[in-house]
Structure 1
């Protein structure tokens, strides 16, 4: 019951190949509430299959190096045991490899196809908006075609697959990629006169995107990311399943794995225990987002950036997201961030807290774990009759409505994204205009793209009256609005001169005023801007090891 992956670690010595011992990154896939693997960097390498038969042989050579999530759990426990016993010496190098295929890549390998048209037609057809003269049946989304990186577009040729490589350093990514390239015949020296077919490449590398974990697992807007992850019945412990019932409901394995319990799809037998992988690049315009939040904070307008105004700015931006930056849900803490604030900078604040706890004779690590447990809780749900705590239009409520929306759990997915690009410093934020490319390399896994990623983006985030129409709860003024973070309007709505702006009138969202008790009904609507820009991606399928051995390698 696992997706395929290869992983390893070694102790020190630069000359040693990073193939000594297996370790698991895909344990995250099945045990989503366990501590995250100590990976810091991730590389997505997109490829095109140039010689299918040779590729099958090369893939078969890679498969023996792959391991399962069950194996990964054992290796992971071994690492922690060595750490606890003090027997783990030197620097620990971690690396993991996964492979996934587009519909076109699977067709080249002769695999029995899926009947899922969304997957078969790909993300370009599903997520882009038609230009004048385009066949509208071939463009079923709201992405502006001009915003996509050309490597993801049909005019650059189609992608057949992607390698996902993770590691603790950029050097590990480079070394692991070199091993993968050689496995598929790239860069191998050819002796004079040699004509061995297996020494020739079977793939063409098209495009690479690299991400890295930010301090404290934050995304670029400044919020701790990845907190709300579903617990999977049969893959997570019974204790985790019981705890999950207090908030985000546990899901059946078939919500994530093809052929798992609860999966009602009619996919080929070889695809069982695999999962559909969505890859999507989202650019984040951080200075523009900060500027918008500031312009909508009344105390900043009246007082400038005073301590009171900074507190109101933090509260306003947290209402947009639905959590405080450290993760505490507004549903539990609607008025004040429960995390002690010794500095507005989260990393500096953490340093000051550790120093304070140490001065008080407390164990800083233990205190931080208690604070994290409170902030990172997922044990809450929403009252559909009320938005005085978490606004109906908040990002986490639009994309994860919980009890607002009956049977919402069928639309959950596992998110495994990672940020890319440099952190925005205060001088860049203060300038109000992005000076660097940064954002999120979004990855999700689900047994159905239609029920998972696609439903959340198109039906919940993009529609102003979804997941549930709360117009009546707001005095019949208007619905709550699209998701202010990732919600989309057709490209016709955007400004021709500024990618972050909409033409007047801009779409609005209902965000209760932070200066006074939230009125019921609330009619406080705010025009939004465009701070998250989709730059393209693709739909892939990550097969099980048996699926590769028995079908894709044959």
Structure 2
């Protein structure tokens, strides 16, 4: 049984938040840092406390007594392999974690070895602070709360105070910070509700909600937490109740996303061409808007407010049209569901290539539950307003601060991003059900080698450019489900750009108080 008072609260059940700040630091005096670590541990929000806080919020909402936003700030801490080494911790037998994300996820530049760069991210796209050449990052403080001012105030009273940040006795150096804020309706910048399909953990979550063989299968706690049933790796004893944290910045090119969708929809593309000929910005008709909605939702695998395409292939039950505008209906909770599975031999409802099916294959992939992870991302950057969106070109950086927790980075994040999203035949090659053609890379987060990263707009959308990836994808017929085998090939644009990150380990409270301060 996982001890809720010994695990950090962002791993489970998650930290309540309207805003969040990630403070990346380098340890400059290991001995002084270790002296302060037990005190810092007293400020860490455990799963027990986080659950109490969340239940209190839910209770007040249900009673109608919640007045405004509760002033609440929560703190978690995690360390990279280099940070743990500075503290003298027994090393993990884990090449992915020990090597770091830069080695694992970046592509080699000219003359560099593929052994030292085992991914597809162009190095020039990475934030410099995440590159080892900048000195590296030893740890990250995750601070979540009701607002950024509240977060900064709590950081000064805890982290800064414990480690003497700003005076001659300081034991850490803050090297980089990144902050995010929750958007309305908990959507990400492309417009879809985020955080759906979180794993259900035996011994922590109420598994009575899974009454049949449909939907999310409860997982063993060891898939997320080290040292428990379901954890296949042989990690040091001190790591029990901890979890590996992946942090990653994904920039989302929102105006480009919507224009790319439009050019791939027949009605919208025709309207756009006419508008351009007249020197005007496109103004979509209801039919064009509906077609783009179906097309983009098929790309994701869900309708914007969470209803799965597998259950609702042609119409979003969570939205009602009103004079060209869309409003969230009362059906949202009912249809924001995980109570379904895919039929591996059928993509007439949800395409094999959709983001959701590529990264969360369910019955498409035997043993899928081994590869799930707790996702704790938050949007960053300003919402994309109508003027910027209409221009078709990003003017302000925005995206998702991706965070996940798992007992194995290889089984979790690396499998979902590198083995599934980035490959044309992952997670299971569906060519035999798909006219002999594999489903292609993930259309949202899938990455290709830097030499294939092109840019296409307008009339170029259906032409190959710089060997750009293509996927089989259905025409967006507003009245009929898609066929099982598609005769249309879709040229992908690069709409999500990774800007780097790092792999961390989130220790238990006992490790923070007892083991790490005394490690040699």
TM-score scaled by length of structure 2: 0.91
| Residue equivalent to 1:428 | 388
| Residue equivalent to 2:148 | 170
Task: Report which stretch shifted further, 231-240 or 501-510.
Answer: 501-510
Contact 1:287–1:431 (CA under 8 A) maintained in structure 2 = yes
Distance 2:33 2:18 in 1: 30
1:452 match: secondary structure = helix
| Residue equivalent to 2:340 | 380
| Structure 2 CA distance for partners of 1:497 and 1:67, relative to 1, 3 Å | closer
* Superposed displacement of residue 97, structure 1: 0.5
| Residue equivalent to 1:216 | 185
Distance 2:63 2:346 in 1: 51
* Superposed displacement of residue 4, structure 1: 8.1
Contact 2:262–2:292 (CA under 8 A) maintained in structure 1 = yes
What is the correspondence of 1:281-300 to structure 2 with a 5 Å cutoff? 281-300=249-268
| Structure 2 CA distance for partners of 1:395 and 1:133, relative to 1, 3 Å | same
What is the correspondence of 1:125-164 to structure 2 with a 5 Å cutoff? 125-164=103-142
Q: Summarize deviations over 1:117-165 as a string: whole Å, max 9, x none.
A: 1000100000000011112211000000010010100111110000000
1:58 match: secondary structure = helix
2:319 match: secondary structure = coil
* Superposed displacement of residue 75, structure 1: 4.5
Task: Report which stretch shifted further, 373-382 or 211-220.
Answer: 373-382
Distance 1:283 1:88 in 2: 34
What is the correspondence of 1:375-414 to structure 2 with a 5 Å cutoff? 375-414=335-374
Query: 482, 488, 492: which one pairs with 1:524?
Result: 488
Q: Summarize deviations over 1:368-395 as a string: whole Å, max 9, x none.
A: 3xx1222310011101111000000000
* Superposed displacement of residue 265, structure 1: 1.0
Contact 1:5–1:66 (CA under 8 A) maintained in structure 2 = no
**Cα root mean square deviation, aligned:** 2.5
The answer to whether the aligner puts 1:536 opposite 2:500 as a matched pair is yes
Q: Summarize deviations over 1:343-383 as a string: whole Å, max 9, x none.
A: 5998x624xx6xxxxxxxxxxxxxx3xx1222310011101
| Structure 2 CA distance for partners of 1:75 and 1:436, relative to 1, 3 Å | closer
1:136 match: secondary structure = coil
* Superposed displacement of residue 55, structure 1: 0.1
| Structure 2 CA distance for partners of 1:239 and 1:349, relative to 1, 3 Å | same
Contact 2:314–2:481 (CA under 8 A) maintained in structure 1 = no
Distance 1:80 1:274 in 2: 27
1:207 match: secondary structure = strand
* Superposed displacement of residue 282, structure 1: 0.4
Query: 221, 225, 245: which one pairs with 1:277?
Result: 245
Distance 2:106 2:407 in 1: 23
Distance 1:232 1:421 in 2: 32
Query: 60, 69, 73: which one pairs with 1:95?
Result: 73
Distance 2:351 2:310 in 1: 9
Contact 1:218–1:225 (CA under 8 A) maintained in structure 2 = yes
2:149 match: secondary structure = helix
Distance 2:235 2:266 in 1: 54
Distance 1:200 1:71 in 2: 31
TM-score scaled by length of structure 1: 0.85
1:74 match: secondary structure = helix
The answer to whether the aligner puts 1:311 opposite 2:271 as a matched pair is no
* Superposed displacement of residue 401, structure 1: 0.5
The answer to whether the aligner puts 1:471 opposite 2:435 as a matched pair is no
| Residue equivalent to 1:489 | 448
Unaligned runs of 5+ in 2: 273-283
Distance 1:80 1:504 in 2: 51
Query: 38, 42, 47: which one pairs with 1:69?
Result: 47
Distance 2:418 2:498 in 1: 13
Q: Summarize deviations over 1:307-334 as a string: whole Å, max 9, x none.
A: 1111111000101000011111000000
The answer to whether the aligner puts 1:513 opposite 2:453 as a matched pair is no
| Structure 2 CA distance for partners of 1:432 and 1:107, relative to 1, 3 Å | same
The answer to whether the aligner puts 1:342 opposite 2:321 as a matched pair is yes
* Superposed displacement of residue 496, structure 1: 8.7
| Structure 2 CA distance for partners of 1:84 and 1:135, relative to 1, 3 Å | closer
Unaligned runs of 5+ in 1: 7-24, 189-198, 354-367
| Structure 2 CA distance for partners of 1:344 and 1:494, relative to 1, 3 Å | farther
Contact 1:2–1:68 (CA under 8 A) maintained in structure 2 = no
The answer to whether the aligner puts 1:320 opposite 2:299 as a matched pair is yes
| Structure 2 CA distance for partners of 1:130 and 1:84, relative to 1, 3 Å | closer
| Structure 2 CA distance for partners of 1:517 and 1:227, relative to 1, 3 Å | closer
| Structure 2 CA distance for partners of 1:533 and 1:87, relative to 1, 3 Å | closer
* Superposed displacement of residue 302, structure 1: 3.4
* Superposed displacement of residue 64, structure 1: 2.2
| Residue equivalent to 1:301 | 269
